[in-house]
């Protein structure tokens, strides 16, 4: 936040989803410190959305932002951008168009899914990091479509 008012014309933000994503919100009732972190995370996202930057895209998975802040402008999937993966990703946009798919891959089950459609990453110390990464196809589309000077 120290540099947010430094005159940027575009911000593409990927705030940490640990305390915002639906996949972890069930812990908030059992661990009050997590619920407090969710509130702090929501305030952080609101500050990003309210930044004095003309064009903003905020990316996060499906979670509490949709009900606690506002509905996303768009929900995308990696398979819409040439990735063999499924992961619903929300975009909250300010003065930016919806991201246009670049290469749609249609499959019954994607490489990152189990037979039941769940994420197939095994538990590990860095599972959170792998699950939260932005797929290259989405990042490339953002750079190409949002990186053009207004």
pLDDT tens digit at each of 150 positions of the chain: 999 999 999 999 999 888 778 777 777 778 888 888 888 999 999 999 999 999 999 999 988 899 999 999 999 999 999 999 888 999 999 999 999 999 999 988 887 776 766 676 667 777 666 777 889 999 999 999 998 754
Residue 59 placed within a domain: yes
Residue 129 placed within a domain: yes
Residue 39 placed within a domain: no
Q: What is the pLDDT of residue 149?
A: 52
Q: What is the pLDDT of residue 117?
A: 64
- Cα(76)–Cα(89) distance, rounded to whole angstroms? 5
Residue 117 placed within a domain: yes
Residue 115 placed within a domain: yes
Q: What is the pLDDT of residue 76?
A: 97
- Cα(75)–Cα(55) distance, rounded to whole angstroms? 18
Residue range(s) defining the domain that contains residue 75: 54-144
Q: What is the pTM of this model?
A: 0.88
Residue 41 placed within a domain: no
Q: What is the pLDDT of residue 32?
A: 81
Residue 17 placed within a domain: no
Tokens of 83: 């990735």
Q: What is the pLDDT of residue 25?
A: 74
The total of structural domains in the chain comes to 1
Give Rg (Cα) of the chain. 16
Q: What is the pLDDT of residue 125?
A: 78
Tokens of 45: 């996202």
The residue assigned the tokens 């575009």 is 10
Q: What is the pLDDT of residue 81?
A: 97
Q: What is the pLDDT of residue 97?
A: 96
């Amino acid at each position: 936040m120290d540099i947010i008012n430094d005159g940027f014309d575009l911000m593409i933000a990927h705030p940490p989803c640990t305390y915002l994503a639906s996949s972890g919100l069930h812990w908030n009732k059992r661990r009050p410190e997590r619920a407090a972190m969710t509130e702090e995370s929501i305030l952080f996202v609101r500050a990003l959305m309210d930044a004095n930057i003309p064009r903003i895209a905020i990316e996060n998975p499906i979670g509490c932002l949709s009900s606690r802040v506002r509905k996303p402008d768009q929900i995308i999937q990696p398979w819409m951008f040439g990735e063999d993966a499924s992961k619903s990703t929300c975009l909250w946009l300010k003065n930016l168009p919806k991201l246009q798919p670049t290469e749609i891959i249609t499959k019954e089950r994607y490489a990152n899914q189990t037979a039941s459609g769940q994420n197939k990453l095994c538990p590990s110390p860095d599972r959170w990091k792998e699950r939260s990464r932005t797929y290259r196809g989405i990042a490339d589309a953002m750079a190409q479509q949002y990186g053009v000077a207004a």
